[in-house]
């Protein structure tokens, strides 16, 4: 990797790799106070604010931009969304491999895995899915603040829930990637046999069958994970990252 430079500009620290500005202001990690907390959208929907009035934000002395300088690339959230079987996990892990082999710090947060631990108490009602995505969004943000390229692979079926995650980070920090596989193909793949169960009435609230999926309308990238080869989709994600100044074209040219 090219050696990144930290440049002081007034009150800000900038991280530069060649001509690319990798980081933003040194106090970007303080956007806790600015986090958008939207109003409830349906009865019973949870709104999260600290329960106690007696907690005070503690500023880190080592900032995100310094961690990014150490890593040689920006932290970012790559948010993969799509139906079950659309290819979120396969694509996220394939992109991670590509990035890891080229020296990037990465981590994949995967739906089934997170539901074994942090979100083991949640089911598949709209409210539980909302809470699932809220927790994952907060966790992804922490990974990103650590300077990591975090790749998330959750159905995240509701536009509002995805937009809420976008709203807790700065513009450019959240790259939404729609794994656009039609349900007919997902059902043919039926990787885990869940569509068969859902059709047989053995699995309630199954996305695409008895529970909605709201496709993104203005996402950063749509990938045709239904018919394109995996390596083509990986390259599209890498190209988007280069275009957005997350990683350096020098390290990713073939
Ligand atoms: N009812 C129902 N609907 C959808 N999916 C179900 C359901 N029950 C279990 N599963 C399995 O759980 C995985 C989806 O979890 P997520 O955390 O990604 O869902 S969500 O974002 O909160 O909607 C999903 O994983 P993927 O197939 O990788 O998407 C399924 O394996
Ligand atoms: N271009 C592609 N991108 C991702 N997955 C693909 C692609 N083409 C075929 N597949 C296959 O589709 C399936 C997707 O499964 P998975 O990644 O578990 O989906 P999800 O995480 O969305 O539930 C895998 O069997 C994978 O090999």
pLDDT at 25: 41
Contact in structure between 47 and 40 (CB atoms under 8 Å): yes
Residue positions annotated with a catalytic role:
156
Contact in structure between 222 and 178 (CB atoms under 8 Å): yes
Atom of ligand 2 nearest to the CA of 111: 21
The residue whose CA has the least distance to atom 1 of ligand 1 is 206
Sign of the Cα torsion 231, 234, 236, 241 reads: negative
The residue whose CA has the least distance to atom 27 of ligand 1 is 84
Atom of ligand 1 nearest to the CA of 156: 21
pLDDT exceeds 60 at position 20:
no
For residue 176, give the 3-state DSSP assignment.
strand
Distance of CA 144 to the CA centre of its chain: 9
pLDDT at 48: 66
Out of 108, 113, 121, 124, mutate this one to test ligand 1's pocket (max ligand atoms within 8 Å of CB): namely: 124
Superfamily of 73-248 according to CATH: P-loop containing nucleotide triphosphate hydrolases (3.40.50.300)
pLDDT exceeds 90 at position 21:
no
In whole numbers, what is the pLDDT of the chain averaged over residues? 86
Beta-carbon count within 10 A of 239 CB? 13
Centre of ligand 2 from the C-alpha of residue 207, in Å: 16
Atom of ligand 2 nearest to the CA of 80: 22
208 phi and psi angles, rounded to 5 deg: 90, -20
Question: How are beta strands 174-179 and 76-81 bridged, if at all?
Answer: parallel
Contact in structure between 42 and 213 (CB atoms under 8 Å): no
pLDDT at 111: 83
The DSSP H or E segment spanning 137 is helix 126-145
The rounded distance, in Å, linking the Cα atoms of 112 and 11 is 43
The encoded tokens of residue 223 equal 């990938």
Q: Give residue 218's pLDDT band: very low, low, confident or very high (50, 70, 90).
A: very high
pLDDT at 235: 97
Q: Give residue 14's pLDDT band: very low, low, confident or very high (50, 70, 90).
A: low
Instruction: Given the cut 0.85, state whether the ipTM is greater than it.
Output: yes
pLDDT at 247: 92
pLDDT 10s digits, 33-61 = 343 344 344 445 555 678 888 889 899 99
Residue 132 in contact with ligand 1 by CB distance below 6 A: yes
pLDDT 10s digits, 146-163 = 999 999 999 999 999 999
The rounded distance, in Å, linking the Cα atoms of 174 and 5 is 24
DSSP E strands: which ranges in 42-189? 76-81, 106-110, 149-153, 174-179
pLDDT at 46: 56
pLDDT exceeds 90 at position 108:
yes
Centre of ligand 2 from the C-alpha of residue 254, in Å: 25
89 is in an annotated binding site: yes
**Can you tell me which residue has the tokens 């990035």?**
99
The rounded distance, in Å, linking the Cα atoms of 201 and 119 is 25
Looking at per-residue pLDDT, the higher value among 49 and 218 belongs to 218
**Can you tell me which residue has the tokens 């939404």?**
176
Sketch the domain layout of the chain as residue ranges: 73-248
């Amino acid at each position: 990797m090219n050696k990144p430079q930290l440049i002081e500009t007034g009150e800000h620290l900038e991280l530069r790799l060649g001509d690319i500005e990798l980081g933003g202001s040194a106090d970007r990690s303080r956007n806790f106070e600015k986090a958008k907390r939207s109003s409830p959208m349906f009865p019973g929907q949870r709104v999260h604010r600290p329960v106690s009035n007696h907690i005070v934000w503690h500023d880190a002395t080592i900032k995100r931009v310094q961690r990014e300088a150490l890593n040689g690339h920006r932290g970012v959230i790559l948010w993969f969304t799509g139906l079950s079987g659309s290819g979120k996990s396969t694509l996220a892990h394939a992109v991670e491999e590509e990035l890891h082999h080229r020296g990037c710090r990465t981590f994949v947060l995967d739906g089934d895995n997170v539901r074994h631990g942090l979100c083991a108490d949640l089911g598949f009602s709209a409210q539980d899915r909302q809470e699932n995505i809220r927790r994952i969004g907060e966790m992804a943000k922490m990974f990103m603040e650590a300077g990591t390229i975090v790749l998330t692979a959750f159905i995240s079926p509701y536009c509002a829930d995805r937009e809420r995650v976008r709203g807790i980070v700065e513009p450019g920090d959240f790259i939404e990637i729609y794994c656009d596989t039609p349900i007919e193909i997902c059902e043919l793949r039926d990787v885990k046999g869940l569509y068969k169960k859902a059709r047989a009435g053995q699995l309630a609230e199954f996305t695409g069958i008895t529970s909605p999926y709201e496709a993104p309308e203005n996402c950063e990238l749509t990938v045709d994970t239904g018919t394109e080869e995996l390596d083509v989709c990986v390259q599209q994600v890498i190209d988007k990252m280069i275009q957005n100044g997350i990683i350096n074209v020098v390290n990713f040219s073939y």
